[in-house]
Each structure stands twice: as C-alpha cells, then as structure tokens.
Structure 1
Amino acid sequence: MKLNLTPPLKPSYWQQSIAPVGVLPALTGEHQADIVIIGGGFVGLWTALTIKEYEPDCKVVVLEQDICGGGASGRNGGMVMSWWPKISSLNVLCSPEESLFLANASERAISELGEFCLQHNIDAHFVQKGWLWTATTPAHVNAWDSTLKVCERLGAAPFERLSVEDLQRRTGSSSHLAGVLEASNATVQPFALVQGMRRVALEKGVSIYEKSGVTNIVSGNPVQVQTKGGVIAAQKVVLATNAWSTSIPALARTIAAVNSSIVVTKKLNEQQAWQGGECITDSQLLVNYYRKTHDGRIAFGKGTGAMSYGSIINEVFSEDTESIDMTRDDFFKIYSTMDKEIVEQSWSGPIDRTFDSLPVFGSLSAHNNIFYGIGWSGNGVGPSRLGGRILASIALERDNEWSQCSLVDRAYKPFPPEPFRYLGGRLVRRAVIRKEQAEMSGRDANVLDRWLAGLAPAGLEDK
C-alpha cells in the first residue's frame, strides 16, 4: 500500500507564534512495535496516550511526515466544539440513547481537555467561554431550530437563545441578527496543544519520529511500515492521517479533502474587538468561524471548499490566494469598521469531510490489523479525544462502549470516483457560493443553484 508524501505546508500563525520546540529524530534502521500510529496530530496523539493509559506496557510508535501538528491539527481555528450541532446526523445513525451518550461525551471532552492542560502544565491558552451560532442574513435566522428540536426530543438543552442586543454585544458587530449560545465550548492555541500532547506522550513512553513520512505499508502479521530511512514491524497499525487518507485507495472515497482558510489581524485595542471570549460561526454552508486569540487578535476563518484533483494535498491546502481573498472579504463584511490594513497573516489548510459530517472508524477490508479514524469535517479539536478512545479500544480489542459505538464500521455515503468527484465538487461549490452570496445580499437564489447546493455534504452544523 503506497502512500503519497507531500511537501510541508506553510506554517500557520499558531506555529509561528510559540517558541520552537525542536524536531524529533527521523526513523532509521529496523524496529519492532506493538502498535504503530501514522499521523502526529490530535487523533494520533490522543490514540497513543489512550493506549498507554489502557495498557502502559504496550510499545507504541508514532510516525509523522512533518512535525507533530504540521498538518491540520496545527492550522485550524482552535475552536473546541461538541457534537451537539451534529445531533441530527447522530440521531440518524444511532439510537436516541447512544446519540445522547456521544453528544454528552463530546461535551465532557471539552472540560477534560482543559483539565488535561492544567494537569500537565500545557499553556494551550484554553478558554471555555462558549460558542455563538449566529445568523448574519435574514435567510439564516433560526437555522438552528431543527437542531434544537432534536435536542428537545432527546431531553437535552445545550443551547440558549440570545436576544439581538446581547448577541451583538458579545460579537462586537451589528451584522449578527440572531443566535444561540452553547456554553460548553472553548478555544485553544491548537499548535501549542499538539506540542504539549507530544511532550506528555514522550513522558508516557511513546516513541515519536518526525520527518518520517510513511512510503509503504506491507500488510501481514506483522505489518511492515516503511519510511525513507527505516522500517517497523508492527502487530497493528492505526491510520490517523486526516485528509492525507485520500492517498489510500481503500479510503479514497470515504472523504473529500476541502480547503479552509484563516486570516489573523494585528493586535487590537479593547474598542476594536468584542469583549467576551466566545468563539463564533455563522450559518453558511461555507461557514465563517472566528475567535479572539490570547494576544488580542481576531482569527477569522472560512470553509471555502476548494478542492484539488484526486484530493492531493498541495498548495490549495497551504496558501490558496482565492480562498484567502474570500475569507478576508467576509471578515470585512462582518467587521466593516476595521482598517483594511488590519489583517496581518493568512494561511490555508485541509478538512477531511464526510457526507454526513461525522467521522468513520474501522479496519481496512482484508486487513483486520490496520485501523483508521477519519472524516472530522472541520470539528476535530474536541471530538478527537473521543476518537482516540475509539481507536485505542478497537486496536486493543477491548469490548466497551467505544469499540461498539455506531461510528465504528458504519455505513456511509461514498464520494464519487475521479474525475467526477473533482468536476462535480467544483460545480456544486460554485453553486453554493452563488446561493450564499445571494442570501447574504438579501436576494433569493435561483432554483438551479439551490438544487445543486443541496447536493453538498453537511457543513459544520446540521441544518
């Protein structure tokens, strides 16, 4: 099984704003391990830490082609969210009882993350002030109603409706017309969190090799995991490769790699930024998401949905000019009084999106000792902690609520093969852009654009 290695992505603001911690040595020579984890981001490191928690004597090796956090985990918006916005999708997949279990577990994982940082002295700028789900055009007012109704039927009330006055005070912009608050959510400096997790994993006895991209996986018992410099014979392998999983033929149609971009402002004074610590999204499918940083900036992102042919992780997912321009334009629509020179940094990154916005876990067909957990769909910072429990449980063959949950070996809608995925994806994306531009301008989108937009995968929130 050949894997495609990709050049390092452009460093994000998060990676540039903390002191460098040094690169761990690359893999050389021949080694043996109980479990090899491919990918040194949130999912890979949570899996490694959970395995060591369950079985401290298990020999765990993490292989990362760049540095830990060099991929999506070090370049996202740092919004730690639950699965409550996806409760409709969960409720289709799971029983009501399991939907509640997974949503509640994802909410608890946010506080657990803060406790983990406190316990291990990780300065990841954890701030738990909630998330505002908003409408910035009349067409999107009450976009959350169906989600709140599902919560109500399940006996849960994670959201609070806000008055317009309270919402605009919290967001610092009159562009926000309506919204709800989910109080459990948080923000972090994502690269600082990854680096802290890496340190803890090393302290727990996990072996981590950076600049050690996997070039080939030879199935068998043991599995042979090959890099340019070495090889590891492992009893089991866990693929925590996010959007890079599209290079694995068995997983290529499970997800589509789509672009998201972020701009970061200069440091703002108190009059320029909103006063609360909430993170914010609007209700577009190509969602805007934004939050304040620890040093007084605004980080403003947009899921722009750009793709590459074959979902190859190239410059589209590193620094895409068109996507960054779209993001900057939307920032100034929301914060129209800001000086046009206030934006200081920008970058792009990949999202591994499934059709229903929920991740997929399992083992590769005919390879019952190679496991995967992919498809985080722009909401992996918090739920990746649960993903680590699921992957650790199935890799260690534990019979528990994680290995038996409905996200494992589940049915899912596959994306079409190339060239239809790329060509169709571009067609649908342009329709979504036109539809949302019309809605944001107070106009009705045309019928064809509405129909084509309905073919798009679910976004950050259920609608």
Structure 2
Amino acid sequence: MADVMKDLTPRGNSGVPNGGVSYWYTSTALPKYRAPLPGDRDADVCIVGAGLTGLWAAYYLKRAQPDLRIVMLEREFAGFGASGRNGGWLSAELAGSRALYAKTHGHQGVVDLLAAMRGAVDEVIAVADAEGIDADIAKDGLLHVARNRAQVERLQETIEYEKLWGATDEDVVPLTLAELNSRVVVDGAMAGIFSPDCARVQPAKLVQGLAAAVERLGVVIYEQTTVEAIESGLARTDRGVVRAPIVLRCLEGFTAGIKGQRRGWLPMNSSMIVTDPLPDSVMAEIGWSGAEVLGDGAHAYMYAQRTVDNRIALGGRGIPYRFGSRTDVNGETQDWTINALTTLLHDMFPAAANVPIAQAWCGVLGVPRDWCATVDLDHETGLGTAGGYVGSGLTTTNLAGRTLADLVLRRDTELTRLPWVGRRVRPWEPEPLRWLGVHAMYTLYREADRRENTPDLAHTSKIARFANRVAGR
C-alpha cells in the first residue's frame, strides 16, 4: 500500500485552496492506495470503476451469491470521481425526460421508477446503518427556493408535474415565504417547495465506507490500474487482463476515456466551494438549523448543504465542459468558476460574506445525449453498464447497482422491468460541435436567468425554452 497521498490543494488567482479531489477528502484525509492488479486474472464478474455504481453492484451481487469471484478495477482510488466529490444530496430526483422513459413502459412504468427512487433513499440509509458507515446522514428533506417571479411560476409547474407522475401531497409540499424562512433564510426568496425524500450525506465517508463493506464481503478492488479497453469477456489494463463472462462498465463521467466511448456519455463539469465554519452570529441570521439540502429554480442551477460542522457547501456548473471530453486534474477548477460560485453564495446569504472560502473543487458527471439514465446488460456479449445520471446520481447509483445485480443473476424482478433498463441513445456530436453546443446551451441558460431576474418578467424566458429544445431536454 502506498503512503497517504499528499495534500493537492494549489492556490490559483482566486486565493482559494483549489482541487485536492474534494473538500470531503480534505476533511477525512485522502485514502491509501490499494494494490494494483498484479497481472492477468480470471473472475466471474469484472467491474470497471470503483465508484458508487460499481460498489453497489458488487455489494448486492455478493450478498445474493457469496461465492462469486468479483474483481473491481480502478485507475485512482475507490470513490475518486463524482462519488467522492458531489453535493451530498441523497435525493429521489431522477434526471431526464419522463416522457422518454414512458415511450417504452408507459406512464405506470415511470411512476414505478420514481417510487423506486424514493425507496432507494431509505435503502442507502439502511445499508449505511447495517454496515456501520458513519456518513453524517440526516434525512431532513430537500428545499427548492424561487427567487424571482418566473421561478415561482416554475415551482408551481413542478408541483403539478410531479403529481402527474404519482407524487402525493406529502411528496412535494409548497411553502410560503414564512414557511421557507422558518427553515432557512435565503435573500430574495419568494417561495419554496419541500420534499421529504432526501438526506444530507458526506460523500467521501459514504463511498469509503461502502468500499470497505464490499471488501469485507470478499470483493477484490485493484487500484492504480488503468483500463484501456473493454471487450466481450475481458477488460484490458496497463497491468494485465481480467477475463470474466460478465464485465460491467461503471465509469459515469469518465466513460469517454475508454476506447470507442468518446461520444457516449459527455463528461459535464460541476464545481463546488465550501466555507469555513459559520460563526454563531451568521447562523442566527441564516437560521439553517436543520440538515435540509437546498436548490434553486434557476436554469443554471445551484445545489447546497449545511455540513455537520456548520459550513455551507455550494455547487453549480461553472464552465460546464472541456474540449474533447477532457476531465479535471485532481479536482482543480477554474478561478472564474470559484468567483462565480462565491458571488452566488454571498448573494443568497449576505451574512456569510465575510466568512472565508475554505476550498474549491470540481468533478465530472455523465450526460447522455437525451439526458436520461441507463442500466443495461447484454447477456450475449456479457457487457453491461449503468450511468448517465446527469448530476442526480447519489441515490440513483444504489438503484442502478441493485438493478445490475439482478440482471447479472438473470432475475426477473420489478427492478429489471423498470423503463431505464436496456435503453439505447444516440451518440453526442463530434468536436467541435459538442463543445460549441454545450457552451452555447449554458450561455443561453445564464442569459435567461439574467432576464428573469428583472421585475418585469413573470414567466420562463423564451431563451431558456429554446435552449431546452436545442439540448434535447
């Protein structure tokens, strides 16, 4: 085992410690590397990528069939990617167009999928409790706040939309400004929505705890091992070949690094900042005493949580995409993004304006061309995959991992009949069209947000509606 990795937080022009994978690892210490693949190996199941999707699949496979030989391959360390960098929303939100899911399985199929997502929130909490994983989990729900008239209109549309797909009055609760302020005071807020189906999580603690749990079950995780190609029956790496009748690709935003997958799932960039612990005087003004996670109604939306030690961790898209599907270096993000997120933080919480930013970081999430997640296994080739969570993946990984396990074991279950199983989507456009399209889309969204932040506009900007059509969302 290698020594604990050194701190990787260089300072850019913003003056904020930047990178180091994520603050979640800074607060817990980066893990020691596990040993790399020691040469060619045989297995029953080979899982490429030791993030949450692969770890959950391994966990449920081993619980169902303990004698399976499962090998996991990871270029860095388990949880190095989005699994250890995300905003810590264990939510029931499902990315993508429900109408697209319904094309194959009808309205009821989507209702079933959404119900399964709500159940997955409690499943993760139950497994964490059973395995002794202390991940600062608190199920206090999710708040979405509207800060202009157009966002208020969209919140009402959201309530109606959720109920169309099976949500009850308890699943999506409209909040008056007074009710919202009783939970958290956001400057400029006008209204809100509350959903109980969400918990705050410390992502690095969750993924590291799950990795330890699957090892206790007998799964072997090889790190410092780069998978160069995935073929029927094998995964080729820089350290040897793993042969297995089932090979599962669980790489999410890093999928483009595999040969032949450059135009599959686009690696969308998302960045975060976290403050120092807030003084009592600031907390008294903000009033965020619970563990609700927080989002807004903007098109270029933000996401936030109050950490267990009273920091605000806030994220957003920043500069959304690097040319050629490139990814970040150890979580380091751009100064422009740090400054933009800091400005947003201070705009929403003026009382925190004098609290230093402790760290900034970023990561990539997987975005399919139609923005809908997929779980798939072809038993003829033995090749399977899950991902395309579009930023709503923390809970989705659990549901996807359980579904993959059922598919591998050839079980006909409620999970394997969900409408995201076996989906096929067209590839992204080649460069430079891919880069131009993504950046144009977010430029339009930001312009739509700017226009909606004027008193005269009470409805969603036509610019945003146009961007949605171009993006295929």
TM-score (norm 1): 0.89
Question: Partner residue of 1:201?
Answer: 214
> Does the 8 Å CA contact 1:142/1:179 hold for their aligned counterparts?
no
> Does the 8 Å CA contact 1:286/1:305 hold for their aligned counterparts?
no
Structure 1 Cα separation of the partners of residues 157 and 351 of structure 2: 34
| CA gap 1:232/1:446 in 2 versus in 1, 3 angstroms | closer
Question: Partner residue of 2:303?
Answer: 289
| CA gap 1:270/1:155 in 2 versus in 1, 3 angstroms | same
Of 37, 40, 56, the match for 1:30? 40
Counterpart check, 1:149 vs 2:163: no
Structure 2 Cα separation of the partners of residues 310 and 37 of structure 1: 25
Structure 1 residues 171-201: Cα deviation after superposition (integer angstroms, max 9, x where no partner): 2223221111001210110010011001100
Question: Partner residue of 2:442?
Answer: 429
Displacement of 1:66:
0.6
Of 187, 203, 212, the match for 1:190? 203
Displacement of 1:101:
1.7
Structure 2 Cα separation of the partners of residues 310 and 362 of structure 1: 26
> Does the 8 Å CA contact 1:264/1:344 hold for their aligned counterparts?
yes
Displacement of 1:411:
4.3
Structure 2 Cα separation of the partners of residues 230 and 66 of structure 1: 16
Structure 1 Cα separation of the partners of residues 381 and 337 of structure 2: 39
Matches within 5 A, 1:294-309: 294-304=308-318, 306-309=320-323
Q: How many residues align?
A: 447
| CA gap 1:397/1:216 in 2 versus in 1, 3 angstroms | same
**Which amino acid letter does the alignment assign opposite residue 398 of structure 2?**
R
Counterpart check, 1:116 vs 2:127: yes
Deviates more, 1:167-176 or 1:247-256: 247-256
> Does the 8 Å CA contact 2:299/2:446 hold for their aligned counterparts?
no
Task: Tell me the secondary structure at the aligned position of residue 301 of structure 1.
Answer: strand
Structure 2 Cα separation of the partners of residues 446 and 197 of structure 1: 43
Question: Partner residue of 1:242?
Answer: 252
> Does the 8 Å CA contact 1:260/1:317 hold for their aligned counterparts?
no
Counterpart check, 1:52 vs 2:62: yes
Structure 2 Cα separation of the partners of residues 207 and 320 of structure 1: 36
> Does the 8 Å CA contact 1:308/1:316 hold for their aligned counterparts?
no
Of 346, 349, 355, the match for 2:363? 349
Matches within 5 A, 1:2-81: 10-81=20-91
Structure 1 Cα separation of the partners of residues 443 and 424 of structure 2: 28
Task: Tell me the secondary structure at the aligned position of residue 60 of structure 2.
Answer: helix
| CA gap 1:405/1:155 in 2 versus in 1, 3 angstroms | closer
> Does the 8 Å CA contact 1:84/1:103 hold for their aligned counterparts?
yes
TM-score (norm 2): 0.88
Question: Partner residue of 2:3?
Answer: none
| CA gap 1:311/1:402 in 2 versus in 1, 3 angstroms | same
Unaligned runs of 5+ in 1: 1-7, 459-463
Deviates more, 1:286-295 or 1:340-349: 340-349
Question: Partner residue of 1:332?
Answer: 346
| CA gap 1:199/1:228 in 2 versus in 1, 3 angstroms | same
> Does the 8 Å CA contact 1:261/1:348 hold for their aligned counterparts?
yes
Displacement of 1:144:
3.2
Displacement of 1:20:
4.6
> Does the 8 Å CA contact 1:140/1:283 hold for their aligned counterparts?
yes
Of 240, 251, 254, the match for 1:230? 240
Displacement of 1:450:
5.4
Q: CA RMSD in A?
A: 2.5
| CA gap 1:413/1:332 in 2 versus in 1, 3 angstroms | farther
> Does the 8 Å CA contact 2:24/2:203 hold for their aligned counterparts?
yes
Displacement of 1:355:
4.6
| CA gap 1:44/1:177 in 2 versus in 1, 3 angstroms | same
Task: Tell me the secondary structure at the aligned position of residue 372 of structure 1.
Answer: strand
| CA gap 1:289/1:159 in 2 versus in 1, 3 angstroms | same
Structure 2 Cα separation of the partners of residues 305 and 255 of structure 1: 18
**Which amino acid letter does the alignment assign opposite residue 428 of structure 2?**
F
Of 245, 268, 273, the match for 1:263? 273
Matches within 5 A, 1:92-131: 94-131=105-142
Structure 1 Cα separation of the partners of residues 303 and 433 of structure 2: 29
Displacement of 1:163:
1.5
Aligned-residue sequence identity (percent) comes to 27
Counterpart check, 1:455 vs 2:470: yes
Structure 2 Cα separation of the partners of residues 191 and 18 of structure 1: 8
Of 151, 175, 193, the match for 1:140? 151
Structure 2 Cα separation of the partners of residues 163 and 447 of structure 1: 27
Deviates more, 1:43-52 or 1:249-258: 249-258
| CA gap 1:261/1:189 in 2 versus in 1, 3 angstroms | same
| CA gap 1:208/1:143 in 2 versus in 1, 3 angstroms | same
Question: Partner residue of 1:461?
Answer: none
Deviates more, 1:157-166 or 1:146-155: 146-155
Displacement of 1:396:
2.7
Structure 1 residues 380-423: Cα deviation after superposition (integer angstroms, max 9, x where no partner): 11111100012122223322222232212224354322221111
Task: Tell me the secondary structure at the aligned position of residue 255 of structure 2.
Answer: helix
Question: Partner residue of 2:15?
Answer: none
**Which amino acid letter does the alignment assign opposite residue 409 of structure 2?**
L
Structure 1 residues 109-128: Cα deviation after superposition (integer angstroms, max 9, x where no partner): 11121121111111100110
> Does the 8 Å CA contact 2:252/2:366 hold for their aligned counterparts?
yes
Displacement of 1:435:
1.6
